[in-house]
Amino acid sequence: MNAKIKKTSKNNLQSVPYRLHPKMHPMIREVMEQKDFIFYLMKKYGSPLNLIFPQIFREKYELFDQMLRGEHLNYRLYYTCKPNRSNALLREAAELGAYVDVSSHGEFQAALQVGIEPEKISATGPKNKVYMDIIIENQSMCVIDNWHELEYISTYARLGQPVMVRLSKPLINSAVSDDTFGLPYNELNQIIQTIKNTATLDFYGFAVHYNYRTEINVAHIETVVSATLQAFEGGLSPKAVNIGGGYLVRYVDCKDDWNDFINHIKGSLKGNNEPVTWDGNGMGFRLQNGTVIGTEGFMNHCEPVTCENHLEKVLYSTLECLDGTSLLDFIRDSGLEIYVEPGRALMDQCGVTLANVEFTKKSSKGNLLVNLDMHYANLNAHTFKYMAEPVLIHRNDNLPPNQEGVYYYGSLCFASDLITFHKTFPDYLPENGDIAAFINTAAYRMDFTESEMLRHPNAVKICITQNDNQWMEITDNDYKKDQS
């Protein structure tokens, strides 16, 4: 029996302060409507369960690729391993011919094992000896993070070792956080001279991680472009500019709903609205002299510009160091390549996390709690707060409509094991045996901090594909394994 996802009832929408419906790719929506299939998967693999959608990943990669190709740029499009440990996505990246950004010795090995050519691997992040040795052995791109790495690579690498130098993000004002990554821009002259005097290195250019925050986004691009210009003046011949990732993703479907949620939190701090956050936490906002100040302590889940469209906007940004020329025109006119690492945005809509509902109960303050057979690390809830409401797949039909807000919490013997830090208002209250589906969890959520706390097993990861209108599952490790 297939069950359509029930739309929010008119009565529910009029009687609750907000809804945070997740944005869903049509393929995910269709899978969530296959009620028998979802319950079959949960029975077979257990709770929690992570679903990976390689076909959506391929679609997203091709959107980025088409956009860059359409701008007539010389470019490299990187798949970044760090947000998710999926071998299936790595194999899909290999089949697409993608370049791959790794952040550890283990990720480097995984890339080689699925057939990524060493010359297509870029090794980033702080590096220990074993990590640097595998880079040198394969003569892959090394993105230098610090002086220790530069000295080690210069000493032990063979002639022609490709390197880039990562620069720290610019410190525009005291409100901008410090940066542990990269070498400071004020050491640029020393960096240029050191590379110029090191015969073994093949210098490709500078890298910086683009950040979506308004006050520093253009400054990140300015940093790496200015450094490139100075490298030319200093006698080097950079080949590329690496602007990294940080492109925006949208998790909540409706902007008005998201604004209602933010405004309700602010109103509750003033005493005008019922609190909808755990223990009345302002989640970044606070009341001072009758005025709500501060900013949300969580990412915007309903950005107006996202993914490849956000990257396109970045490319058209004009830069002071180029006298108002856009980044796009600079790359075209200079003959340089541009390296892009979409990261989270390349995994947009590529994953779903499922969990069984065990029971509901009231807290000591009268809040309705829904217990899930998972814990917060299965959704990385503390580091990257997940704000969209889960899709509920009910075992029973004809449930009474609901107007009460609920909190979801996990299976650990810790009072802090919260899955959601705010109330959501489902159409129908979840019951034992129902399934909660958290949408768009592939990047940094489903397995980034996952651990077997209290000996709870980690979630199984399976791939969902569609062939001839049939939905099929295969374990993540077995996906296209015979082709690698």
Instruction: Tell me the C-alpha distance between 154 and 148, whole Å.
Output: 10
Gyration radius from the chain CA atoms = 24
Distance of CA 133 to the CA centre of its chain: 29
Neighbours of 95 (CB within 10 A): 15
Q: Which domains occur in the chain, in start order?
A: 10-53+349-483 (2.40.37.10), 55-247+302-346 (3.20.20.10), 255-294 (no CATH)
Contact residues for 185 (Cβ-Cβ < 8 A; gap 6+): 167, 168, 170, 223, 226, 227
Q: What local confidence, expressed as pLDDT, does residue 222 receive?
A: 87
From the list 83, 84, 123, the residue with the least C-alpha distance to 100 is 123
pLDDT value, residue 285: 93
Give the Cα separation of 479 and 98 in Å (integer): 18
Bridge partners for 143 per DSSP:
164
- This prediction has a pTM of 0.93
pLDDT at site 3? 43
Q: What is the model's pLDDT at position 179?
A: 77
Cβ neighbours for 49, distance < 8 A, ≥ 6 positions apart: 41, 42, 353, 354, 355, 459, 460, 462
What is the DSSP secondary-structure string of 410-476?
-SSS-TT-BS-SB-B--SS---TT-EEEEES-TTTTSSSS---GGGPPPPEEEEEEEETTEEEEEEG
Give the whole-angstrom CA distance, residue 196 versus residue 285. Answer: 49
pLDDT digits (tens, 9 = 90+) for 244-265: 888 899 999 999 999 999 999 9
Write the DSSP string, 4-42.
PPPPPPHHHHHHSS---PBP--HHHHHHHT-HHHHHHHH
**Which pLDDT score is estimated for 208?**
86
Helix, strand, coil shares of the chain, percent, nearest 5, are 35, 20, 45
- Mean pLDDT, 10 residues at a time, over the chain (484 residues)? 43 79 97 97 97 97 96 96 96 97 98 97 97 98 97 96 90 63 92 96 91 60 92 97 91 96 94 92 92 90 91 91 93 96 96 98 95 94 89 94 95 90 96 98 94 90 92 94 56
Interatomic CA distance for residues 184 and 338, integer angstroms:
21
